[in-house]
Structure 1
Amino acid sequence: MRRHLQLRVATPEDREWLHELRHRVYAQELGQHVPDPTGRLRDGLDGDNVYLVAARGADRIGFVSLTPPWLGRYALDKYLTRDELPLLSEGGLFEVRILTVEPRWRASAAAPLLMYAALRWIASRGGRRMVAMGRTELLGMYLAAGLRPVGRTVHSGALTFEVLTGNVTELTMATMDRYRTTLERLRSGVDWQLDMPFAPRPDGCEHGGASFTAIGTDFRSLHRRHQVVAADVLDAWFPPAPGVRAALAEDPAWAARTSPPTGAEGLLAEIAAARGLPEETLAVGAGSSDLIFRAFGQWLTPESRVLLMDPGYGEYAHVTERVIGCRVDRFRLRREDGWRIDPARLAAAVGAGRYDLVVVVNPNNPTGRHAPAAELRSLIAAAPAATRWWIDEAYLGYADPTESLAGLAATDPRVVVCTSLSKMYALSGMRAAYLVAEPATAARLRRWTPPWPVSLPAQLAAVAALRDPAYYSDRWLRTHALRRRLAADLAGLDETVMIEEGVANFLNVTLPYGGPSAAQVVDECRRHNVYLRDLSPLSPEYEGRTVRVAVKDTAENACIVAAFQAALEILLPRSAALGPRIDGVPVAGSAR
């Protein structure tokens, strides 16, 4: 029986073979290093690097080494300074090195599969660019994979290497385009033991969550909605206001068969009244994604320069990079700063005037942090006149509705505020949202809005929701209490996990170094019908260790805690090195 080629992260048992193979190839065969009497070849990054191993049964075939950016150093630092190779100072850069295959397997698919596995691992950790040293005699293989020389050559022992780089998104798209058939053929013969899917999503973006797949996207098993805890999406845990439910229940047959007001005139009037805004400053859409795609498609081109917060809502990177093809930079939010925007750093980044658009989600998803309106007003006032600001306030109700910049957006042509009614008003299934812009900007967007942009049921629901602010204010306050209880319960499960709350309807759980990956915990929780969100693909700042958890009601939160506990008992070694922490601070009774 033919054995499958296995791809896995190196185990402790693999390490001795790995060092021995490196010695045989790079010291004895190729002369890059002086032979070592131990017959082993090691370097200073061995303890921190990630090694992916290819094996067939008990036979180890080859490996590739990955150096993630959170280590703060690369093998290339031994050969080139950061001034000589500024690429090494870029955020989100992963180094791929030492692709090595046993001699008798070099004609097999092992090397291409290891390269592909490295690309998938990097993408799953939010990597945006990779760098590698490719032996000059194998340069054709690396060029065929989409890597490109940066114009630097490195000499090491008897070998000469070309320094190569590639954009992870572009490499992924090119790989799937050129080698899709080959990969599909190889997939059936691979035992893929890595913690990310073999193939990326077709559009490369995780819209929503996987929980509806578990319920059934064909809608034939909707009873499973009572069994699945959908904490991977940020839908409200509470039902819509009573008036919303009454409006939808009064005559659902009529609402289903009747064309809505063409331009959602009644909804526009209700938003204007509820928010104290002129109607001519508003445009509506079928959810914020509709508005993002429509507005950005009008404003931006592949020549546009965009600044996104990092970590940040993945839809913005998807639209600007993958759909439009803009030149996108990231403004790094730091865990050590509590993920908060540093106004001075952001002002310096924007002040040069090179950005056509700056996107700020406030409160931010996925960090949950809120930037004070006064700080943002000052930043915008000092920014270049040609820079447009897009402020996403989808979660503002959980912080403070009076902190909205909608009033500024209604008068300043540089500012647009987008507000989804999905998350705060329990209307995710309805798809209703609006944006606020000065009248000329809003009018241009309305001209590019098709008739009937929001369905009649959605218009009915949104209008009724806006008419009951007291109900939602109470639900938002209750959300804070549920979040704090969930945070405390999760923190009590294990002394090595860190809980970060923020101000919105979710919290983040970061796993310890040396513990399971976020993907492994998410996968294990799904065995208990609890769906959580692995934040790793959104940003390398999460280091593959952070899980986002939506706040649900008391019963579902208990299911989340139980599933998390079961996952940690299976995946996490016992350790008393750290106490349980909320926002990085030890809680009462924890180890110091």
Structure 2
Amino acid sequence: MSPEQLLAPPVTTLPTLRAAVTGLPAYVPGRRSLGADIAALASNESHYHPLPAAMVAVTEAAGRMNRYPDMAAVELRERLARHLGVTAEEVAVGPGSVGVLQQIITGLCDAGDEVVFAWRSFEAYPILVELAGARAVRVPLDDAEGHDLEAMAAAVTDRTKVILLCTPNNPTGVPISHERLEAFLQSVPSSVLVVIDEAYVEYADTGPDSLVLYRRYPNVCILRTFSKAYGLAGLRVGYAIATAAIAEGLRRTALPFAVSALAQKAAVASLDAGEEMAARVSAVKLERARMAAELAAQGWKLQPSQGNFLWIRADDQLLASLVDAFNAAGILVRAYAGDGLRITVADPASNDRVLRLLQAKAA
């Protein structure tokens, strides 16, 4: 054998990714700000600085970052339990609500099982479902940009393991009423886990009382996050409320030590600073109402949003025109091909820039 043959790598089959992975659409995060004059309104994050109490908690916890965090997140789970009137055994935490949702899908779905959700809704839903080898069942939104619960109930089969209900819905901002949601729960099998995804619940003036429904229907799971109103998007901490058996399963499927000690301490401190957080939420609601009223006066047709964002339904031609105009004006917004545009409500000055641009486009 020649030296060249000895040095040549053997001809062999290389590792390949699972087909479920290669076929996944990439999650598209909101574009980031590249300068002080850019208004970053593409991600639904808080535009306030972190709560002072959370900053203090993180600073104190930073001195112990050489140690692993509490994998069971006992302090945070107990604080959440007191806050919500449940037991710590009914609480599971994870790296953001999307991390907890992955724990839910992993814990309940085998290959070929079905997960039903509205579409368009949170972009991570089909990605997490398909990654688990389950089948995503998309049910189109109704004419009011909300969940078509009757069609969703009709889509349930004997392979359905989970139903995802996003209220208020991301990206349209439309909530599900308590009465409609309760009727839906009465119509679906009790063996199906119904996840009420309430990432934006703090901003909502209307919608279901999910804790009441959870106490009545043990197949309900509540999903929430500290990334939005509490302003901890960069620390990644979310949680679920479910029966003790389901919550224990979610803790078992969690990536070990996924929620950092800094995130846990900041979340506890944020819950303790509820009044200050509520004042910030109130300010966002006022800006949301101001923007919605002015846009309606300009002639834009919007559904009343209960999130910290506004939604403009647009075909691809209008969408491209709007995105080009926003880009030229240094305003980052979130476009959804074939559907529309989502604009996060931010500080009054940034919001005024949005209003001026849309006034020009409406003229």
User: TM-score if structure 1 supplies the norm length?
Assistant: 0.54
2:253 and 2:162 mapped to 1: Cα distance? 20
The corresponding residue for 2:306 is 503
**Distance verdict in 2 for CA 1:293–1:207, change over 3 Å:** farther
Q: In 2, Cα distance between the equivalents of 1:278 and 1:289?
A: 22
Contact 2:118 2:148 in 1 (8 A): no
Correspondence 1:547 to 2:355: no
Q: For residue 177 of structure 2, what is the aligned residue in structure 1?
A: 372
Count residues with an aligned counterpart. 345
Question: Residue deviations 1:208-238, cap 9 Å, x none?
Answer: 2122xx53xxxxxxxx3x3321111100223
Aligned to 2:16: none
CA displacement at 1:534 relative to structure 2: 0.6
Cα pair distance change 1:465/1:403, threshold 3 Å: farther
> Are 1:484 and 2:289 counterparts?
yes
Question: Is 2:101 the counterpart of 1:292?
Answer: yes
* Residues in 2 aligned to 1:418 and 1:429: alpha-carbon distance in whole angstroms: 18
Q: Alignment partner for residue 340 of structure 1, among 130, 146, 151? A: 146
Question: Offset at 1:477?
Answer: 2.1
Pairing partner for 1:326 from 134, 140, 143: 134
Matched, 1:261 2:74: no
Give the equivalent residue in structure 1 for 2:260: 455
Alpha-carbon distance change, 280 to 400 in structure 1, aligned in 2, over 3 angstroms = farther
Matching of residue 522 in structure 1 with residue 319 in structure 2: no
Q: How many Å apart are 1:359 and its aligned residue?
A: 0.8
> Shift in Å at residue 399 of structure 1?
1.5
Q: How is 1:182-197 mapped onto 2 (pairs within 5 angstroms)?
A: none
Paired residues for 1:397-416 under 5 Å: 397-400=202-205, 403-406=208-211, 408-409=213-214, 412-416=217-221
Q: Do structure 1's residue 208 and structure 2's residue 29 form an aligned pair?
A: yes
Paired with 1:401 and 1:283, the residues of 2 have a C-alpha distance of: 26
Q: Corresponding residue for 2:58?
A: 248
Note the C-alpha offset of 1:324. Answer: 2.6
**Hey, what's the Cα distance between the residues in 2 that align with 1:455 and 1:372?**
35
Q: In the TM superposition, what is the alpha-carbon distance from 1:563 to its structure 2 partner?
A: 4.6
Q: Which residue of 47, 72, 75 corresponds with 1:237? A: 47
Q: Kindly state the Cα deviation for residue 285 of structure 1 after the two structures are TM-superposed.
A: 0.5
Q: Is the 8 A contact 1:312 1:365 kept in 2?
A: yes
- Shift, 1:354, TM fit: 5.0
Report the Cα distance in structure 1 between the residues aligned to 2:183 and 2:308, rounded to whole angstroms.
27
Deviations along 1:311-349, whole A, 9 cap, x unmatched? 21111011113x1343222222223xx223344444444
Gaps of 5+ in 2: 1-18
1:563-582 pair list within 5 angstroms: 563-564=357-358, 568=361
The Cα offsets for residues 356-391 of structure 1, whole Å up to 9 and x where unpaired, read as 221101111111111123322232133123322111
Shift of 1:353: 4.6
Distance 2:206 2:270 in 1: 15
Aligned counterpart for 1:556 among listed residues 331, 339, 350:
350
SS at match of 2:174: coil
What CA distance in whole angstroms lies between the structure 1 residues aligned with 2:292 and 2:162? 35
Tell me the SS of whatever aligns to 1:504: coil
Task: Give the equivalent residue in structure 1 for 2:231.
Answer: 426
Is the contact between residue 108 and residue 162 of structure 2 (CA under 8 Å) also seen in structure 1?
no
Q: CA deviation at 1:292?
A: 1.5
Q: Tell me how far apart the structure 2 counterparts of residues 327 and 258 of structure 1 sit (CA, whole Å).
A: 39
CA–CA separation in structure 1 for the residues paired with 2:294 and 2:205: 26
The answer to whether the 8 Å contact 2:142/2:148 transfers is no
Deviation at 1:410, TM superposition (A): 6.2
How far does residue 310 in structure 1 lie from its aligned partner after superposition? 1.6
> Which residue of the partner structure matches residue 438 of structure 1?
243
Q: Which residue is 1:273 aligned to?
A: 82
Asked if the contact 1:436–1:442 (Cα under 8 Å) also holds between the matched residues in 2, the reply is yes
Which residues of 2 match residues 92-111 of structure 1 at below 5 A? none
Instruction: State the AA in 2 paired with 1:459.
Output: Q
Contact 1:413-1:441 within 8 A present in 2 as well: no
Q: Offset of 1:465 from its aligned partner?
A: 0.9
Question: Which consecutive residues of structure 1, in runs of 5 or more, have no partner in the other structure?
Answer: 1-169, 175-202, 216-223, 575-592
* Residues 384-434 of structure 1, C-alpha deviations (whole Å, 9 max, x = no match): 233221111111111159944245446744222111111121111111111
2:333 alignment partner in structure 1: 532
Greater relative contact order, per chain length (Cα 8 Å cut-off, separation 6+): 2
The SS at the match of 2:160 is coil
Q: Is the 8 A contact 1:255 1:457 kept in 2?
A: no
Instruction: Tell which structure's C-alpha radius of gyration is larger.
Output: 1
The one-letter code matched in structure 2 to 1:241 is L
Displacement of 1:565: 5.4
What does 1:165-176 align with in structure 2 at a 5 Å threshold? none
Q: CA RMSD in A?
A: 2.8
CA contact (8 A) 2:117 2:152 kept: no
Q: Is contact 1:308–1:329 with CA below 8 Å preserved after alignment?
A: yes
**1:22-61 pair list within 5 angstroms:** none
How many Å separate the matches in 1 of 2:38 and 2:64?
A: 29
CA distance in 1, matches of 2:238, 2:215: 16
Task: Give the whole-Å Cα distance in 2 for the aligned partners of 1:312 and 1:402.
Answer: 17
Does the Cα contact within 8 Å between 1:530 and 1:563 map onto a contact in 2? Answer: no
Q: How far apart, in 2, do the equivalents of 1:402 and 1:360 lie?
A: 12
